[in-house]
Amino acid sequence: MLVAWLAPLAAFVAAAIVPTIEHRRRGRVSIATARAVAQVATACSVLSLGLALVALAAWVWRGSDQPPIVGDWFRFVRVGPLDLSAGYCLDTLSVVMTTVVTLVATCVHVYARGYFTEEMAPEGVVDSEVLSGTLPLQREGRLHRFYQHLSLFLFSMLGLVLSGNLAMTFVFWELVGLSSYLLIGFYYEREAAANAASKAMLVNRLADVGLLLGMIALWNATGGLVFIDGEGGGLLSAGQALRESGGANYRMLCWAGLGLFCGCLGKSAQFPLWTWLPDAMQGPTPVSALVHSATMVAAGVFLIGRVYPLLTPEVLVIVASVGALTLLIGAVLACAAADFKRVLAFSTISQLGYMMLAMGLGGWVAGIFHLMTHAMFKSLLFLAAGAVIHATHSGDLAQLGGLRQRMPRTAWLTGIGVLAIMGAGIPGLGLGLSGFYSKDLIFEQAIGFYRANSWAGWLLVAPTIGAALTAFYMGRLWLLTFAGKPRSVAAAEAHEAAPTLLLPMLVLAALAISAGWTLPGLNASLAALLDAGSPAPHQLTVGTLWPEAVIPGAHDHHAPGIKLRAGLLALGATAAGLALVGISRLRGRLANPLGAGVVQALDLRTLPAINRGFATSVRSCGTFLAEAIDRWTIDNSLIGFTRGLWRGGVALHRIETGSLRHYIVFLVLGVVFLGSLAILAVV
Amino acid sequence: MLALPSDTLLPLLPMASLLTSPIGVAHYLVVGAVLFTAGIVCMATKRNLLGVLMGVELVLNGANINFVAIGSPYLRGDAATLGLDGQLMALFVIVLAAAEAAVALAIALNFYNTVGTIDVDRASQLRG
């Protein structure tokens, strides 16, 4: 199983070679070098994909259901007794995740070669969005830099997915954050891009404080950070035992779960900390496709899936509630957004909310499965957005329209992505696009959860409304971009995307259609593979602190009647959303379906206000700490202490007269004083 | 021998009994203390560096008298003394005093060469 570990190494070699080449050629990096760098990086990515596929095949051949979690352990650093070693843990989750990450990464590597044509222009790049003086900024192309960051990202993401203990996960968690920062700020001359990068960095660091605290609490509760050790023990089984017994450390386990979830809030752009993701769209579109839709933002869901046995029912209910809230907020904002990529960004937030919701409802398989299918169709949609932007130099929906005639292939591929994210399919036959299967699983889970917890009706209502909104904003997006008449000169003169752009989209579209299918004859599917490797308990779990929180068992949603009901619910919601799209198109209100005031209020007023309120509260808290604790208490005590010392010194300085005869008198007085003290002590 | 109204005065003067008792260690100690005090006062009041030096010698000699008296077999009897140790110490002190006087006189000479006087109150260049 060492092959899978070689995959990130190959990508890392790519990231390491690039600066050397760059360094050797002082000054300007020539186009030939940049092209060579791109080829090396792409080759390494393809190699990673090949190895990941080999690992997946080996895994399936070995049988993922025999040992529920099989971890191979490779230790090459060990610090004292703390065992902060670097290792890897291979189970169904990490193998499948590796495949998805390398697959999307390879598509994006290929795609970026076609996307960044201007970065390879011999006379340099003219960035019309930045003015230097009165002219547009002219700068050198930096394709090599893009591939360097991309390789670093791929390496860290694979390290995160494969890592065998929480400390190493944390390291790579921060590394993907760093590469995300670098990639968002790729056009760092643009002020918006630089700000967006800083914002993403800051929001994520805030969340990572929670992750770190969670790790400490977890260490406290279970005594280790290794997921699974060689003897079958480790963090996960210790936490699971603790959760089942409800022992003395149960409360600590809850805090640990909440802390880890707090880290996921930032990375996966959940409810209070989602605001960085729409801004992150300032990065190049291939980056949005890879980092900010398919892989990095899904790392939060992955981490929840990784530590799933540790999460108590109380924590899971919080996860589900936050997920439900996020999916509604994201969907509503996606309906109002006016930019192609912003719609997709809010849609990503909403879909991540779906994954979190599924996780929280006890649907490990549903959540991870939706992560996989979402990676396919959302990166497809982002690549399509890139193709549109590349052709028209604008992502503003008001400037697009009518592109179906000019770019028929892109329109078709986008349509596949749109249908997949809506979850189009026929419930009775169980046949549909990939999103149909994963969304149905989530609905089944929600119904199962509602049966176990009668108070949790809104956790079923939220995804239903969300599904209708998904159909609405996706239909709106497609119609505004590809249907109707061109609304600008650029849109009217757009050209079909180049084959390098279309090929990765084609691959992803094929997977967006088929990722949920069961292989005929073999009875093997992604969902079945995940199901066999699921760590979710098979029986009901009841919260110790809060007995009303009941997490249904892993297979409770297979109860008769649920599947058809879930399918009909999802189909009904989607149909309602589509009907709404049709109505608003007929009434000509598609561009601004919620009314100008609502858009203003939501996207321009509410969001900044929430941001500002949050930032203000954080800052006033910080100001209070700085003023009251630091500047007043600590500084003043130090200043007072030094001032007292100074004054004492000045006072004592007076008796240093410099006169020999005075010193003799002091000497005598001192001896008399000490002598009388001695006599008093004796008497 | 002075005739003192011992019945009335003796309780009032703490060391009045010395006047009536035969000469012993205590008398020598009193002389040493007087010399010591005279030396201290001399050191503290004289502005002349040589005067201060004489005060130092007086202090040392006061100490010497104490050594000799306490170490004396005539005053304290053979059994109570420490042999020759007292006298030996006094000899050491005399040697040290001679060395100290040599050094101090050298300082005084240099001081005179530099400042043009041996007034110790003028030696205040290192005052903080």
CATH number (domain holding residue B58): 1.10.287.3510
pLDDT tier at B65 (50, 70, 90 boundaries)?
very high
Query: Cβ(A440)–Cβ(A467) under 8 Å?
Result: no
CA distance B23 to chain A (A): 27
Instruction: Report the sign of the C-alpha dihedral through residues A603, A609, A610, A611, in that order.
Output: positive
Q: What local confidence, expressed as pLDDT, does residue B101 receive? A: 93
For residue A649, pLDDT over 70 is answered with yes
Output the CA–CA distances (angstroms, integers) from residue A175 to A106, A154, A180, A182, B18, in the order listed: 20, 10, 8, 11, 94
Instruction: Give the one of B44, B126, B128 whose C-beta lies nearest to A661's C-beta.
Output: B44
Output the CA–CA distances (angstroms, integers) from residue A183 to A146, A276, A282, A374, A556, in the order listed: 7, 14, 9, 21, 43
Please name the residues between 449 and 478 in chain A that touch chain B, using a CB distance below 8 Å: none
What is the mean pLDDT of the segment spanning A498-520? 82
Q: What local confidence, expressed as pLDDT, does residue A187 receive? A: 84
Q: For A328-354, write each residue's pLDDT tens digit.
A: 888 888 887 778 888 888 899 999 999
Q: What local confidence, expressed as pLDDT, does residue A148 receive? A: 80
For residue B81, pLDDT over 70 is answered with no
- At which residue do the structure tokens 């609905």 appear? A443
pLDDT tier at A1 (50, 70, 90 boundaries)?
very low
Q: What local confidence, expressed as pLDDT, does residue A487 receive? A: 78
**Hey, are the CB atoms on B45 and A661 less than 8 Å from each other?**
yes
| In A423-498, alpha helices (H) | 434-452, 458-482, 489-492
What is the mean pLDDT of the segment spanning B2-8? 54
For residue A360, pLDDT over 60 is answered with yes
Identity of residue A12: F
What is the mean pLDDT of the segment spanning A105-124? 80
Instruction: Report the sign of the C-alpha dihedral through residues A11, A12, A17, A19, in that order.
Output: positive
Helix (H) or strand (E) run with residue A176 in it: helix A166-184
Touching check for A660 and chain B: CB below 8 Å? yes
Q: Which of A329, A599, A335, A586 minimizes the C-alpha distance to A474?
A: A335
Instruction: Give the one of A653, A659, A660 whose C-beta lies nearest to B128's C-beta.
Output: A653
What is the mean pLDDT of the segment spanning A90-119? 84
**Hey, are the CB atoms on A659 and B52 less than 8 Å from each other?**
no
Q: What local confidence, expressed as pLDDT, does residue A27 receive? A: 57
Mean pLDDT rounded to a whole number for chain A: 80
Other CB atoms within a 10 A radius of the CB of residue A358 amount to 32
For residue A70, pLDDT over 50 is answered with no
Q: For A34-68, write each residue's pLDDT tens digit.
A: 777 777 778 878 888 888 888 788 777 776 555 54
For residue B26, pLDDT over 90 is answered with no
Q: What local confidence, expressed as pLDDT, does residue A642 receive? A: 93
pLDDT tier at A664 (50, 70, 90 boundaries)?
confident
For residue B58, pLDDT over 90 is answered with yes
User: Which residues of B touch chain A, with CB atoms under 8 Å apart?
Assistant: 40, 43-47, 52, 120-121, 123-124, 126-128
pLDDT tier at A520 (50, 70, 90 boundaries)?
low
Instruction: Give the one of A653, A659, A665 whose C-beta lies nearest to B121's C-beta.
Output: A659
Name which residue leads in pLDDT, A127 or B43.
Answer: B43
Output the CA–CA distances (angstroms, integers) from residue A22 to A15, A29, A38, A144, A149, in the order listed: 12, 6, 12, 8, 13
Please name the residues between 379 and 408 in chain A that touch chain B, using a CB distance below 8 Å: none
CB contacts of B43 in chain A (<8 Å) are 661, 664
**Hey, are the CB atoms on A659 and B124 less than 8 Å from each other?**
yes
Q: What local confidence, expressed as pLDDT, does residue B8 receive? A: 59
What is the mean pLDDT of the segment spanning A94-115? 87
For the whole model, what pTM was predicted?
0.73
Name which residue leads in pLDDT, A618 or A9.
Answer: A618
CB contacts of A658 in chain B (<8 Å) are 124, 126-128
Q: What local confidence, expressed as pLDDT, does residue B96 receive? A: 92
CB contacts of B45 in chain A (<8 Å) are 661
For residue B6, pLDDT over 60 is answered with no
Query: Coil, strand, or helix at residue A553?
Result: coil
For residue A177, pLDDT over 80 is answered with yes
A524: DSSP letter = B
Bridge partner residues of A226 (DSSP): A165
CA distance A567 to A60: 29
- At which residue do the structure tokens 């090599």 appear? A144
* Pairing, β A135-139 against β A125-132: antiparallel
What is the mean pLDDT of the segment spanning B66-82? 78
Q: Which domain holds residue B83?
A: 25-117
Instruction: Give the one of A653, A658, A668 whose C-beta lies nearest to B40's C-beta.
Output: A668
Q: What whole-number percentage of chain A has pLDDT above 90?
A: 5
Instruction: Give the one of A653, A656, A664 whose C-beta lies nearest to B43's C-beta.
Output: A664
What is the mean pLDDT of the segment spanning B28-53? 91
Q: What local confidence, expressed as pLDDT, does residue B106 receive? A: 94
**Hey, are the CB atoms on A660 and B120 less than 8 Å from each other?**
yes
Q: What local confidence, expressed as pLDDT, does residue A540 receive? A: 74
Instruction: Give the one of B44, B123, B128 whose C-beta lies nearest to A664's C-beta.
Output: B44
Instruction: Give the one of B43, B45, B127 whose C-beta lies nearest to A656's C-beta.
Output: B127
Within a domain: residue B126? Answer: no
CB contacts of B52 in chain A (<8 Å) are 660-661
CA distance B119 to B88: 36
- Total number of domains constituting chain B: 1
**Hey, are the CB atoms on A668 and B44 less than 8 Å from each other?**
yes
pLDDT tier at B56 (50, 70, 90 boundaries)?
very high
CA distance A292 to A277: 7
CA distance A524 to A63: 11
CA distance A631 to chain B (A): 35
Q: What local confidence, expressed as pLDDT, does residue B61 receive? A: 93
Q: For A391-414, write each residue's pLDDT tens digit.
A: 887 777 777 877 778 888 888 888
Touching check for A664 and chain B: CB below 8 Å? yes
Q: What local confidence, expressed as pLDDT, does residue A231 receive? A: 61
What is the mean pLDDT of the segment spanning B49-58? 92
Q: What local confidence, expressed as pLDDT, does residue A593 receive? A: 63
What would the two tokens of residue A364 be? 């490990």
CB contacts of B63 in chain A (<8 Å) are none
pLDDT tier at B1 (50, 70, 90 boundaries)?
very low
For residue A597, pLDDT over 80 is answered with no
pLDDT tier at A616 (50, 70, 90 boundaries)?
confident
**Hey, are the CB atoms on B123 and A660 less than 8 Å from each other?**
yes
Query: Cβ(B60)–Cβ(B27) under 8 Å?
Result: no
CA distance B86 to chain A (A): 23
pLDDT tier at A641 (50, 70, 90 boundaries)?
very high
For residue A429, pLDDT over 70 is answered with no
**Hey, are the CB atoms on A658 and B127 less than 8 Å from each other?**
yes
CB contacts of B44 in chain A (<8 Å) are 661, 664-665, 668
Q: What whole-number percentage of chain A has pLDDT above 70?
A: 84
Within a domain: residue B19? Answer: no
Name which residue leads in pLDDT, A500 or A673.
Answer: A673
Q: Which range among A461-470, A567-576, B41-50, B101-110 shows the weakest confidence by mean pLDDT?
A: A567-576
CB contacts of A653 in chain B (<8 Å) are 128
pLDDT tier at A72 (50, 70, 90 boundaries)?
very low
Identity of residue B23: I
CB contacts of B33 in chain A (<8 Å) are none
Other CB atoms within a 10 A radius of the CB of residue A237 amount to 18
**Hey, are the CB atoms on B121 and A661 less than 8 Å from each other?**
yes
For residue A389, pLDDT over 70 is answered with yes
Within a domain: residue B47? Answer: yes
